[in-house]
Amino acid sequence: MSLTDILSPSDIAAALRDCQAPDSFSPKKFFQISGMSKKSSSQLKEIFRILDNDQSGFIEEDELKYFLQRFECGARVLTSSETKTFLAAADHDGDGKIGAEGIDYFKYK
């Protein structure tokens, strides 16, 4: 399964266009534009699984900086500041990674 099986390619493209400039990435806005905020919990879990590049059950800082590239190969890498802000917001237990407990962060409802 790929992200385009769950999200519209045109919505993904619009979300990526919105955050092309360094330090312009807003997770909340990205999730809204891409359509992630409207997905069911099971769809979000599948998106999370796809984003978990090493399939460890967690999204670590290393993976998170390449977040946009999981949506499109040519997308930019998140800046250090964007990565740290994103991680801090979704890392509910402070272990330095996003696990299943952070899945609700992806919903933004």
Residue 109: pLDDT over 60: no
pLDDT in tens, 69-88: 999 999 999 999 999 999 98
Which CATH number does the domain 7-106 belong to among 3.40.50.300, 3.30.450.20, 3.40.800.20, 1.10.238.10? 1.10.238.10
Ligand-binding annotation for 104, yes or no, is no
Say what the pLDDT of residue 103 is.
65
Ligand-binding annotation for 54, yes or no, is yes
For residue 53, give both structure tokens.
């590049």
d(C-alpha 4, C-alpha 17), whole Å: 16
Ligand-binding annotation for 56, yes or no, is yes
DSSP-derived letter for residue 101 is: G
pLDDT in tens, 5-64: 999 999 999 999 999 999 999 988 999 999 998 998 889 889 989 989 999 999 999 999
Say what the pLDDT of residue 71 is.
95
- pLDDT band for 101, please (50, 70, 90 cuts): low
For residue 17, give both structure tokens.
């266009």
Q: Domain-by-domain residue ranges, the chain?
A: 7-106
E strand or H helix at 12: helix 9-18
pTM over 0.85: yes
Ligand-binding annotation for 93, yes or no, is yes
Ligand-binding annotation for 52, yes or no, is yes
Whether residue 103 contacts residue 40, with contact meaning beta carbons closer than 8 Å, is answered with no
- Give the type of residue at 66: Y
